Structure 1
């Protein structure tokens, strides 16, 4: 469906969903961290929906832009991580696991919001109104599902690794977290060998179909 759009139309359709997806994801981490006693993000002015405060040159602008230009149909990105100081938590590993989970959960909630927006477009059935809502809804569902599923992978420093760390015994958790220095390399290898595509394809297909059904598409 997105293939029917020109490059300019694709940029217009994707820009808001991408910015909201990565910004709210990071704010969710900081907001939940604050609930558990860590005000680091708030003190640094990062508990804001102002995307400029969260933009990462590569993850927020260059990578999503390249994916749009190449017409891959798959767009994702990232923002600057919101700083969290686990020393302010009563139960550092367990509380950090909940803080980490907040990011993917926020993306799933946003996917639901975009699905409902697309549903409005389906119901309205006036092309000049419905098509922008449907296209933007599809983009919002896609980017948020991609971020949620990708971040739940247990590869340090992705959110999934923080969640797993909270479940492991202390010694094993410490050993596991030593992988973080190699995390980016592991991700690049998985991406280059297309193993990441194989791992993510089925769960993304299932979850995306669920939200598309909500959207009436």
Structure 2
């Protein structure tokens, strides 16, 4: 009975499989330009792929915690990849999607509750925190593979632009997540190595860490520096600023385009 329960706790949810199906169908529509509106197809493809990456990000935290000693993550539904099981669906899914729609920024999610008291060893705690953003890094590597492998022959322009924009979201999410700011995974990585007094003083700041980061990103100089770093990483992976710009342009299909990224059918 317990064995069956544990298998049920790890069964991939139909909700996640549905999101993957949307990603696959809309990705095909972007590739073939089958849809009447290529922009709408790009919007649905990138948004569903982004939600898939958010689910994998949270799953990576939970799976690493399971191996670290927190056996409660299964009962909480975290191993099913179902985004509706997260502690804060708003923080983990809805807000990140809204930020993509509004500004093309990969907002880190963060809403699986790990019972840290069950886990022994500082390295395990650090690895649990690192697992999420490392998933974004892996996603970015996959999205940019056609670029750095120089394998873009035959890849339709809309799909190429969509991959470039999706890669930008993954890289920006990874960079933000790795910042050593309370409340973000980067702080979670270093927290086990800090003294008890420092951790106790910093703990009340955790709920405000992400808010402070986004307030800073409204400062033009900080924003330019951040996106310059994102562009630098993407450039190293073979993705140009023009490609990410055109991907974002196609994604925002409801806006009038200036024609710079017009895609021939």
The TM-score normalised by the length of structure 1 is 0.77
**Change in 2 beyond 3 A, CA 1:34/1:22:** same
In structure 1, stretches of 5+ residues that fail to align are none
**Which residue of structure 2 lines up, in the alignment, with residue 158 of structure 1?**
184
* In 1: Cα distance, 2:145 partner to 2:96 partner: 27
Name 1:103's counterpart in structure 2: 132
Q: Does 1:87 align with 2:124?
A: no
Pairing 1:143–2:172 present: no
More helix by share: 1
- What is the rounded CA distance, in whole Å, between the counterparts of 1:8 and 1:111 in structure 2? 22
Number of aligned residue pairs: give it.
204
Q: Which runs of 5+ in 2 are unaligned?
A: 1-36, 244-265
- Superposed CA RMSD in Å reads 3.1
Separation of aligned partners in 2, 1:199 and 1:124: 33
* Structure 1 residue 195, shift from structure 2 partner: 5.9
State the match for 2:62 in structure 1: 30
Out of 41, 60, 63, the residue aligned to residue 93 of structure 2 is 60
Structure 2 counterparts to residues 5-20 of structure 1, below 5 A: 7-20=39-52
1: CA distance between counterparts of 2:184 and 2:231? 21
Structure label with greater radius of gyration:
2
Cα separation, 2, equivalents of 1:96 and 1:66: 29
Tell me: CA distance 1:118–1:212, structure 2 relative to 1, closer, same or farther (3 Å).
closer
1:23 and 1:88 map into 2 onto residues whose CA distance is 23
Q: Mean Cα displacement is larger for which, 37-46 or 168-177?
A: 168-177
- Equivalence for 2:202: 176
Q: What's the counterpart of residue 42 of structure 1? A: 74
